């Protein structure tokens, strides 16, 4: 990684850390981009160069999840095959997010801060819309199949994250990636022939 990329990665971490700290202290609705900028010691314009919103700064992995899943190609023609391929990609992204973001703090915030639910719902809606549209455009899935696949991928991500957040809230030490794998296994048990 070059100097420019290292500086960018450092700035991304600083902005996310400031956003998380402020939301932990004063709540999501009371936190502004100006507050985040002031905490980092940069201008609001600089914050917007890195993140589109305070919500994006809190959970930056969501846009990369959307971009990666929408760009994923599957060698399968069936909905179940495409779903399986997308869940593999999703797992890789989940593991990366656990490594690269402050996953534990975000998880705790999601359990304590009701306004975070609104953010998550909007991001999930964006994921379902973008992924289902991409699946229809690429074929062979029809709209209803594409929507179902997109919703199942999104629900799997959400259930794994919520399971981890609950464990964190209850003081249980767990591995988020193991919880993702367990979520996929349970999904397979629920729908063994899909």
pLDDT (tens place) for every residue of the chain, 194 residues total: 689 989 988 999 899 999 999 999 999 999 999 999 999 999 999 999 999 999 889 887 788 889 999 999 998 989 999 999 999 999 998 888 777 667 778 877 877 888 888 888 888 999 999 999 999 999 889 999 999 999 999 999 999 988 988 888 888 888 889 999 999 999 999 987 65
User: Domains, the chain, ranges and CATH?
Assistant: 1-53 (1.10.10.60), 59-190 (1.10.357)
pLDDT at 125: 95
Report yes or no: 14 and 37 within 8 Å, Cβ to Cβ.
no
Report the pLDDT value the prediction gives residue 194, as an integer from 0 to 100.
Answer: 53
CA-atom Rg of the chain in angstroms = 18
To which residue do tokens 């797992």 refer? 91
Q: Which long-range contacts (CB under 8 A, 24 or more apart) does 137-145 make?
A: 138/73, 140/77, 141/79, 141/82, 145/79
Per-residue model confidence (pLDDT) at position 108: 78
Q: Which residues contact 47 (CB under 8 A, 6 or more apart)?
A: 15, 33, 36, 37, 40, 57
Res 174: pLDDT: 87
Q: How far apart are CA 96 and CA 100, in angstroms?
A: 6
pTM (2 d.p.)? 0.83
Contact (CB, 8 A) for 21 and 107:
no
CB environment 56-88: b (16+ within 10 A), e (fewer): bbbbbbbeebbebbbebebeeeebeebbbebbe
């Amino acid at each position: 990684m070059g100097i420019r990329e290292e500086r960018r990665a450092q700035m991304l971490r600083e902005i996310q850390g400031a956003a998380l700290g402020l939301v932990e202290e004063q709540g999501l609705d009371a936190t502004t981009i100006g507050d985040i900028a002031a905490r980092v010691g940069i201008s609001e314009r600089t914050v917007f160069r890195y993140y589109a919103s305070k919500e994006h700064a809190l959970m930056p992995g969501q846009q990369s999840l959307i971009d990666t899943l929408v760009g994923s190609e599957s060698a399968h023609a069936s909905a179940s095959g495409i779903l399986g391929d997308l869940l593999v990609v999703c797992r890789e992204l989940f593991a990366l997010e656990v490594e690269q973001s402050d996953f534990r703090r975000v998880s705790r915030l999601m359990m304590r801060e009701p306004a975070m639910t609104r953010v998550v719902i909007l991001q999930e809606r964006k994921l379902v819309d973008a992924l289902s549209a991409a699946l229809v455009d690429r074929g062979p899935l029809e709209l209803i199949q594409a929507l179902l696949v997109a919703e199942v991928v999104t629900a799997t991500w959400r259930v794994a994250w919520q399971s981890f957040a609950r464990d964190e809230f209850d003081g249980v030490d767990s591995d988020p990636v193991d919880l993702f794998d367990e979520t996929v296994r349970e999904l397979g048990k629920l729908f063994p022939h899909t």
